[in-house]
Amino acid sequence: MSETNTAQANTNSELKLNGLFLFKEGMTTVYGEAGEAIPVTVLRYEVLTISQVKTPEKDGYAALQLACCPKSSKNTSKAEVGHFAKSGLAAGALYVKEIRQELPQGDLLGGRVSINSLSKGDTVSISGVSKGHGFAGAVKRWGLAGGPASHGSKFHRRPGSSGNRTWPGRVMPGKKFPGHWGVEAVTVKNVKVVDIIEEHNVVLVKGPVPGARNSIVKLIRA
């Protein structure tokens, strides 16, 4: 069977992987079986298509490349068209991500990833990019106590002394200064999947998730 026919045959198949890529919607509250309030983050699932299969023999490691949110043809380069045509996609994708795991059996290229890759009650690690807060002072960025607030102290929200004596005569690496706050890779471990609402393509996880609204996050089953 040719690559094109294989991709078409797998278009309607759904595969279960060790994780998912989801989009952050926001937070809300749900109630458990005992009536307790549970703060949850709502994560939206967009259809993930396997656009490339990476093998140890060819690429040095085993992984699945996943594509979601198709781009329009006019915004897709010829290289992207050639790459994604193998998986049955007409154009490129806005998001192309990878999940490293053992490769499932069967023809994978062009397969759809099921939202049921995760189950209610699973424990997952969630990775995302934290919110950006722009340029911040040392007190706000690092949570330093600052100096006295009284008059005349001349030391309120400053980072404090940064130098050394004649030796070593330099600022040591790691000194907490003002600077750009946020936009860093953050991973939260041992997060519980509270519920999966398949008809609405929604996953609910307990507690906060790093990142801004509509940012993409990776969930990997622990």
Rounded to an integer, the average pLDDT of 111-125 is 95
> What is the predicted pLDDT for the residue at 217?
97
Q: Give the Cβ contact number of residue 84 at 10 Å.
A: 24
pTM (2 decimals)? 0.84
* Paired strand residues for 196: 203
Collapse the DSSP code of 170 into the 3-class scheme (helix H, G, I; strand E, B; otherwise coil) and give the result. coil
| Dist. CA 215–CA 158, nearest whole Å | 33
The string of pLDDT tens digits covering residues 23-45 is: 999 999 999 999 999 999 999 99
pLDDT at 2 over 50: no
The string of pLDDT tens digits covering residues 52-91 is: 999 999 999 999 999 999 999 899 999 999 999 988 888 8
Rounded to an integer, the average pLDDT of 194-204 is 96
Confidence of residue 160 (pLDDT cuts 50, 70, 90): confident
Edge to edge, what strands does the sheet with 63-70 contain? Answer: 14-15, 112-113, 48-54, 63-70, 93-100
Rounded to an integer, the average pLDDT of 9-29 is 83
C-alpha distance from residue 159 to each of 8, 40, 139, 142, 172 (Å): 60, 36, 7, 10, 14
Cβ 112 vs Cβ 13: under 8 Å: yes
Residue spans per domain, the chain = 3-131+189-221, 138-182
pLDDT at 10 over 90: no
Third-level CATH fold of 3-131+189-221: Elongation Factor Tu (Ef-tu); domain 3 (2.40.30)
| Dist. CA 141–CA 130, nearest whole Å | 13
| Dist. CA 68–CA 174, nearest whole Å | 39
Confidence of residue 5 (pLDDT cuts 50, 70, 90): very low
Nearest CA-CA partner of 50 in 2, 102, 109, 118? 109
Q: Are strands 112-113 and 132-136 parallel, antiparallel or unpaired?
A: unpaired
Confidence of residue 11 (pLDDT cuts 50, 70, 90): very low
